[in-house]
Structure 1
Amino acid sequence: MIYDLKVPASKLKRKCKLSKFKFSNTNDVNPLKDIIGQERGVRALEFGLSIKKKGYNIFVSGISGTGRSSHSYSMASEFASKKETPDDWCYVYNFDKPDSPIALSFKSGDGIIFKKEVEDIIENLKIDFPQIFSSKDYEDKRAIVYNYFKKKIESVICELNETAKEYNFVFKQTEKGLLSIPIVNGELIKDEDIKSLPKEEVTKIKENSNELSKKTLEIVKRLREIEDVLRDKLEELDEEIAFELIYSRFNSLLQKFEDNNKVRNYIIKMQEDIILNLDEFLEDEEEEEELKNILSKNKLLEDFFKRYEVNLFINNVDRQGAPVIKESNPLYYNLLGKVEHINELGALKTDHTKIRPGSIHEANGGYLLIQAKDLITNYVSWEGLKRCLINEESKVENINKDSILAESIKPEPIPLDIKIILIGDYYTYQLLYLYDDEFKELFRIRADFDVEMDRNEENIKKIISFIANHCKEENLRPFHKSAIEEIIEYSSRLADHQKKLTTRFNRIVEIMYEADTWAEFEDVGVVKREHIKKAIDEKYYRNNKYEEKIQHMIEKENIIIDTNTWKVGEINGLAVIDLGEYSFGKPSKITASTFVGKDGIINIEREVSKSGSIHDKGVLILSGYLGEKYATKTPLSLSASITFEQSYDTIEGDSASSTELYALLSSLSGLPINQGIATTGSVNQKGIIQPIGGVNEKIEGFFKICKIKGLTGNEGVIIPYQNIENLMLSDEVIKAVRQGKFSIYAIKTIDEGIEILTGIPYGKKDENEKFPVGTISYFIQRKLNKYAKSDKS
């Protein structure tokens, strides 16, 4: 029976033979760029990219290396190439509400044209206005208006002087306006000379001045009206000349954007503002430069002309189709933009030209790819992104917008038309789905990328073409058919399944690069099987330092592992140590002690808080098995302790539950276990063996220890029979099995396993509910009955 449970060498690894494929090396193969083995994920991704409804953003889940990022980008790029190029966006000054900059949209490429033309117009006006308003033509037009009103003013002044003579006064037109000057003894008296006159004369002058004011009130009023009209006419002249110039400068720009009402309205507002602020264009250059020199000693002089600058916020002039942006560092400002400030005299100043876009603006109209973990670890970025998607608009606002020293502005929000593609693992998706209600509404599409695919002819053909394409793109040596066969086998090993292949193609590509390098060292033109093997072996060697140290400690008996003895209540279990890049199997001695009592099975690791919940469950299952098997008539009177010897880390998982049960059965029966046979596999309450993970690493890890201790032909490993299809063992182990130096047993029940370990039948109850004498169960039942009697006494 035991021999029947041995797995033959032919089933320890599924070899790859590419005899059906007619090629010598990859130079004979048509390259393939498409992703392989991700039909479900690709179909979901394609649907998510196609649907144009709110909330249908995409979460691409899967393990790194499955092509989830690269293929998401390539598929998004393919869809983007078929879409229209999105609009340019500019922020401009709001002449009605300066703290709320206006967002203007333009057809792709028009934004930079608009910015440049506005800059040119303003620069030209700075030159044109001083020239026009200092020209002879302007002076002549101004003189005509002035001379027309000058005669009226002089006539009114004459009328005033006729009245003023009666009171010994005369009116004079000065730069300060119309002045009344007293006359004493036929001479005009200055203000400073009045004080030297006799008191009576001063009093008379004041009385005459008051009377004159009353008499000339209406005439002066008429004069002021004429002066006001003159001033208005001169301003109208200035505005008329300015408008003609402005119109000539802006006319072509208005015509160019006549279909864009918002842009036209902005241009009209700018024209009006220029006319209102003509003086800024007519500043005397020498005075202005002198003023700047004075103020520069403190900080910066505020630039009035900033208001006419155009902030080209998003420029798509060089883009064909929609944008596809990858945000590798989704900090708040990188993602959502910011309003920058400059320090002026201790105050933080800003304006519409300091508004900066984030990747969400750059990707507007297209696709934005973000690594989910990077995003959700920046909480404000995640909340800000969700807010944008919910409102379907992006508002540029700073986090510290309430700072007292910082000047704030509120840029007009920009409408969003964007597809977000989050890329992460399964656990991140579950975390967001379970604990973030908004996530469910915003990311309705999940594209799940698998870590494995079927090992069939179609997929093998695709892998061959993938390897050929990579050789071509990366300028690698051609790969021989034998090298590809080895890669296929390596792929199944990575998938831990004879009927599967890994879809983590980054691991395949790494081996390709390294094998090509080993071929280069040998100065050969084609990569062959031996180069793939060399690359794999060297990769293991670079990473297995910790494994070798453990093996050395076992060899020196610092870690006690027996392989050549038989012992009661002791057994070698198997665990996998995962170092990320490399994982390996490590044997652990498990011991069980049984004695009289009613405490049941004590998990020592649990008692010292070194046991995980799944391991605890596995131990508790053992009580159920023993109870059903041996306590159907009398209560189970038993105390037992189980532990992993020389284990100082937390134990998790139930893959050792069958091993722990074997140790218990050995202790209860008093029958020794062959220490040369290690075991793995979980067990249920009915004694059925269940599959586990890491079977190849566990077998190879124990084999290496047996090899160190010395192979006698009695060594081996017991595994669940379901794990046979997971076997992709090393050639060294297969060779040892073929030579009879090492055995691998595949079992379905605890009965089969304990018989292999002890060499004695397990035993089944007869019609009298008794176990056959000399069987394992007979000895166990006898021990339990003895415990029950002792407990009663």
Structure 2
Amino acid sequence: KQRILESLNELAASKNVLIQNSDSGLQTFYLYNGEVLEEEIYNKLPEKQRESIQKELHQISIITEKKYREIGRLEKEYIDQVEELIDVMVRTVVSRQFAIIRESFPQPEIAEYFEEMTDDIIENLDYFLLDEQSSVPEPSAFIDVKGQRRYEINILVSHHKLKGAPVIVEENPTPASLFGHIERKIVSGGVAIDFTMMRPGSLLLANDGYLIMDVEPIIRNLALWDSLKKMLRSSATRIEDVLADSVNLSSFRTEDFRLNVKVILYGEPHLFDQLMDYDPAFTRHFKVRADFDMETQYNENYELLFSQFVHGVLAQRNLPHFSRNAVIELLNYGQRLVENQKRLSLQFGLYVNLISEAAYWATQKGAVLVEASHVKKARQENRHRHALAEEKMYQYFDDGIYELDVTGAKIGQINALTIIDLGDYSFGQPNRISAVAYLGETGIVQIDRESEMTGRIHNKGVLTIQGFLGNQFAQEFPLSVNVSISFEQSYGGIEGDSASSTELFAVLSALSGIPIKLSYGVTGSVNQFGGIQAVGGVNQKIEGFFHICKLRGLTGEQGVIIPKSNIRHLVLSDEVNQAIAEKMFHLYAISTIEEGVELLMERPAGKKTKSGRYARGTVYDRVWRQLKYYYERSLVNKQEEQ
């Protein structure tokens, strides 16, 4: 370059021309007597001399442009050679550093990433060559300093510290928590994102392991199931930017990640039924079903295991120790939950709550050891918090708004034991059932059913009564009777067949004209042959009737009649057990309608004699005679109509 410039300057000097490089480019000037020729002097020169000067300037300009183009070419070749040398040097240095890392991470994907990173460093080398005088900004979320953010690695998932496969529990799955999301930050009044803001979801966190999820949130958001199904089917997942889709923000999509995860859904059985109804393909993805029982057999071995469970809860929560009687009271609570003396509930969450509350009451009393009385206190307080509706019911009975007699006897009236279920709390509510009989052809008329206040199971129970009457009393003549049955002062829906035996007793009383003792409350399902079948909620039903009797005054005559098959389900309160022990309240268990008739009407139900008739004076005899009267009377009426 220097030689070319020197040669050019020598040539120009020989022609009395000066070459200068200015902001506007290369300029040539003619020298006259060693000085730059001024325009005034130039204009006074002879024309031929002026033409000669212009010719010299033009020639030198052409030569100058040619020489500078040559210089430009040489400089470019030089820069290209220098850049090529730098590329080789930088690639050698960077590759040597990455080689150390590659030994620890031999995966092809990582090797490919390092190659791309090396190429990027070389292509943007000037980015890293800031001199000491350059202004270097402070690090921030979106200002890259010397490539710190440019080459930052966002490790989405790392299991290197785990022993065994990862197990992730997702209690409240959402699109963001399940599939991942991309965060955003406010920068200079705007919204900015980059790859470091990608956050993994539970699917990625559980990759090569197990993901445990509650199925209920999936039922509430079936679109979540559709997305999950697609990813399970394709064995791939990606981080979704849900916000960008919903508000039309700029974003980017991640590549698909390989998915190898076992998904375990847990929840109530009916939720899985709903999901299968929504998508029959559900069973193709979830082929193994495991139903967990909510109760278990009660035996001595379980007592030991339960004691260990209680000890674990106490140690974990730093609670005072429980006495043996306190643990027995907890077991009693477990029996009550499943209404079975030989089984225990496995709802451990409810046990934990009761243990904590009992410990609280023991502490309040200054006790070092939690006793059975503290557990009972906790149960009483828990009941009190839920029992507003029950207490209102007792108030209505006490005020005479709800009418129910618990003494004396009446024809066609009986006290039924029913249950009110509020979801998290249930209690027994006695109801008066009345029945009246009259001539007709309809048979059983259930007023509540005709008013569309009853469910299908209850209606089935009413039809069963019709079958019983036909089987027992209509073998020689058809039934020509109407019997109206009503749940008195019932203003809500009625479901279940647990009062079918009670309704039948009222019907038999109405037909026979024999009064029923109102000191008894009755529950039990009946079949067409008069067999008494077990019902649910027997403890609440008994206790509900007991409290009404207590409000009206215990006479020593009151009691309840329940199915014999319900005896194993009795886990009554201490108050009721004490009243039974003191013979102030009675409990009778029956297996047939006939046994109940004898208790309620204080006379034999009746058995057929050799003549095919019921023994005279028995309840069934009087029913048969009344039904026969209705039949004969219906024939007379038909003849008179003709």
State the TM-score, normalizing by the size of structure 1: 0.70
Partner of 1:339: 182
Note if 1:583 corresponds to 2:435. Answer: no
For 2:97, which of 247, 252, 261 is the aligned residue?
252
For 2:439, which of 596, 603, 628 is the aligned residue?
596
Partner of 1:134: none
Distance 1:592 1:189 in 2: 138
The alpha-carbon deviation at position 344 of structure 1 amounts to 6.9
The alpha-carbon deviation at position 765 of structure 1 amounts to 3.5
Distance 1:171 1:322 in 2: 79
Distance 2:89 2:623 in 1: 113
Note if 1:280 corresponds to 2:132. Answer: no
Distance 1:611 1:657 in 2: 13
Instruction: Say whether the 8 Å CA contact 2:320–2:359 is kept in structure 1.
Output: yes
Matches within 5 A, 1:41-56: none
Q: Secondary structure at the match of 2:403?
A: coil
Q: Deviations over 1:262-291 (max 9, x none)?
A: 2222222222222222343456898878xx
In structure 2, relative to structure 1, the CA distance for the partners of 1:330 and 1:404 (3 Å cut) is closer
Instruction: Say whether the 8 Å CA contact 1:181–1:188 is kept in structure 2.
Output: no
In structure 2, relative to structure 1, the CA distance for the partners of 1:184 and 1:471 (3 Å cut) is closer
How many pairs are equivalent?
628
For 1:478, which of 321, 325, 328 is the aligned residue?
321
For 2:112, which of 240, 260, 265 is the aligned residue?
265
Instruction: Say whether the 8 Å CA contact 1:691–1:723 is kept in structure 2.
Output: yes
| Percent of paired sites with the same residue | 38
Q: Deviations over 1:318-359 (max 9, x none)?
A: 555443333333221122111234567887543322212222
Instruction: Say whether the 8 Å CA contact 1:332–1:378 is kept in structure 2.
Output: no
Note if 1:777 corresponds to 2:620. Answer: yes
Instruction: Say whether the 8 Å CA contact 1:254–1:264 is kept in structure 2.
Output: no
Distance 2:51 2:487 in 1: 125
Instruction: Say whether the 8 Å CA contact 1:348–1:406 is kept in structure 2.
Output: no
Partner of 2:415: 572
In structure 2, relative to structure 1, the CA distance for the partners of 1:567 and 1:282 (3 Å cut) is same
For 2:466, which of 601, 623, 626 is the aligned residue?
623
In structure 2, relative to structure 1, the CA distance for the partners of 1:403 and 1:209 (3 Å cut) is farther
Structure 1 vs Structure 2 CA RMSD: 4.0
Distance 2:499 2:12 in 1: 123
Q: Deviations over 1:473-519 (max 9, x none)?
A: 43333333333333333332222112112222333333333333443
Partner of 1:660: 503
1:519 counterpart letter in structure 2:
A
* 262-271 or 689-698: bigger deviation: 262-271
Partner of 1:519: 362
The alpha-carbon deviation at position 695 of structure 1 amounts to 0.9
The alpha-carbon deviation at position 459 of structure 1 amounts to 1.2
Matches within 5 A, 1:374-413: 374-399=217-242, 401-402=244-245, 405-413=248-256
The alpha-carbon deviation at position 232 of structure 1 amounts to 3.4
Distance 2:476 2:624 in 1: 11
Partner of 2:540: 697
In structure 2, relative to structure 1, the CA distance for the partners of 1:151 and 1:686 (3 Å cut) is farther
In structure 2, relative to structure 1, the CA distance for the partners of 1:462 and 1:340 (3 Å cut) is closer
Instruction: Say whether the 8 Å CA contact 1:254–1:267 is kept in structure 2.
Output: no
Instruction: Say whether the 8 Å CA contact 2:467–2:528 is kept in structure 1.
Output: yes
Instruction: Say whether the 8 Å CA contact 1:336–1:381 is kept in structure 2.
Output: no
Partner of 1:234: 79
In structure 2, relative to structure 1, the CA distance for the partners of 1:377 and 1:208 (3 Å cut) is farther
Q: Secondary structure at the match of 1:744?
A: strand
1:627 counterpart letter in structure 2:
G
Q: Deviations over 1:423-480 (max 9, x none)?
A: 2112212222343334312222333322211111211222233233333443333333
Which stretches in structure 2 are left out of the alignment for 5+ residues? none
Q: Deviations over 1:166-223 (max 9, x none)?
A: xx9987666777x575869899899x99xx999x99x999x9799979997xx97796
Q: Secondary structure at the match of 1:448?
A: coil
Q: Secondary structure at the match of 2:273?
A: helix
In structure 2, relative to structure 1, the CA distance for the partners of 1:304 and 1:338 (3 Å cut) is farther
Instruction: Say whether the 8 Å CA contact 1:330–1:378 is kept in structure 2.
Output: no
Partner of 1:151: 3
Instruction: Say whether the 8 Å CA contact 1:347–1:406 is kept in structure 2.
Output: no
Matches within 5 A, 1:428-447: 428-447=271-290
Matches within 5 A, 1:360-379: 360-379=203-222
The alpha-carbon deviation at position 577 of structure 1 amounts to 2.2
Matches within 5 A, 1:482-521: 482-521=325-364
Distance 2:51 2:255 in 1: 68
2:343 counterpart letter in structure 1:
K
Distance 1:604 1:648 in 2: 12
Instruction: Say whether the 8 Å CA contact 2:244–2:251 is kept in structure 1.
Output: yes
1:278 counterpart letter in structure 2:
L
Q: Deviations over 1:81-124 (max 9, x none)?
A: xxxxxxxxxxxxxxxxxxxxxxxxxxxxxxxxxxxxxxxxxxxx
The alpha-carbon deviation at position 562 of structure 1 amounts to 0.8
Instruction: Say whether the 8 Å CA contact 1:624–1:685 is kept in structure 2.
Output: yes
In structure 2, relative to structure 1, the CA distance for the partners of 1:358 and 1:778 (3 Å cut) is same
The alpha-carbon deviation at position 744 of structure 1 amounts to 1.6
Q: Deviations over 1:210-240 (max 9, x none)?
A: 9979997xx9779646633531321331342
Instruction: Say whether the 8 Å CA contact 1:370–1:423 is kept in structure 2.
Output: yes
2:410 counterpart letter in structure 1:
K
Matches within 5 A, 1:179-328: 179=26, 181=28, 224=69, 227-241=72-86, 243-245=88-90, 247-249=92-94, 251-258=96-103, 259-282=106-129, 305=147, 306-316=149-159, 319-328=162-171
2:101 counterpart letter in structure 1:
K
Determine which structure has greater relative contact order: mean sequence separation of CA pairs < 8 Å that are 6+ residues apart, divided by chain length.
1
* 229-238 or 240-249: bigger deviation: 240-249
Matches within 5 A, 1:134-173: 149-151=1-3
The alpha-carbon deviation at position 686 of structure 1 amounts to 2.4
Q: Secondary structure at the match of 1:501?
A: strand
The alpha-carbon deviation at position 547 of structure 1 amounts to 2.2
For 1:424, which of 252, 262, 267 is the aligned residue?
267
Distance 1:617 1:225 in 2: 109
Distance 2:2 2:351 in 1: 96
In structure 2, relative to structure 1, the CA distance for the partners of 1:723 and 1:189 (3 Å cut) is farther
Q: Secondary structure at the match of 2:355?
A: helix
In structure 2, relative to structure 1, the CA distance for the partners of 1:210 and 1:715 (3 Å cut) is farther
For 1:649, which of 479, 484, 492 is the aligned residue?
492
Q: Secondary structure at the match of 2:430?
A: strand
Instruction: Say whether the 8 Å CA contact 1:243–1:275 is kept in structure 2.
Output: no
Instruction: Say whether the 8 Å CA contact 2:444–2:466 is kept in structure 1.
Output: yes
Q: Secondary structure at the match of 2:576?
A: helix
The alpha-carbon deviation at position 693 of structure 1 amounts to 0.8
Distance 1:476 1:780 in 2: 64
Distance 1:357 1:575 in 2: 53
Partner of 1:138: none
Distance 1:694 1:209 in 2: 122
State the TM-score, normalizing by the size of structure 2: 0.85
Distance 2:426 2:549 in 1: 19
Matches within 5 A, 1:684-723: 684-723=527-566
Distance 2:280 2:60 in 1: 82
Distance 1:526 1:284 in 2: 75
In structure 2, relative to structure 1, the CA distance for the partners of 1:286 and 1:569 (3 Å cut) is farther
1:737 counterpart letter in structure 2:
I
1:565 counterpart letter in structure 2:
G
